[in-house]
Amino acid sequence: MLNALASFEERTAITDLGEVTTPWGLSSSIGRFIRHSGTWDWPMFQGEMSFFRVIGFGLTAIVGLGIGFMLAQLLMNSIGSVLRTFRP
C-alpha cells in the first residue's frame, strides 16, 4: 500500500550473485510524494473527504511553522553566542 501511495515499484533482476531488488522510479516518486503530502493532494481526500484534506493541510502548516521558528531561534542563539565572543 505504501509503495502504491508513493507510486514507485520494486523490480527484481536475476544476476550471477542472485536476485537483486531495486526501487524503480524512486527519485521521481520521492518528489511527487513530498509534493502530495505537503498539500494533502491524495485522491482519497476528494469529495466528501475534502474536510480531512483541509485539516491535514492546516496541521502540516502548523508543524512546518513550528519547525521554522525553532530553527530560527537556534540560528539566532548561535549567532548571538559568536557575537558575544567578539565583545571587548
Say what percent of the chain tops pLDDT 70: 73
At 15, which helix (H) or strand (E)?
A: strand 9-15
Cell 474536510 sits on residue: 51
Whether this prediction's pTM lies above 0.85 is answered by no
R_g (Cα) of the chain, nearest Å: 22
What pLDDT score was predicted for residue 46? Answer: 76
Q: How many CB atoms lie within 10 A of CB 76?
A: 10
At 78, which helix (H) or strand (E)?
A: helix 50-85
Distance of CA 19 to the CA centre of its chain: 30
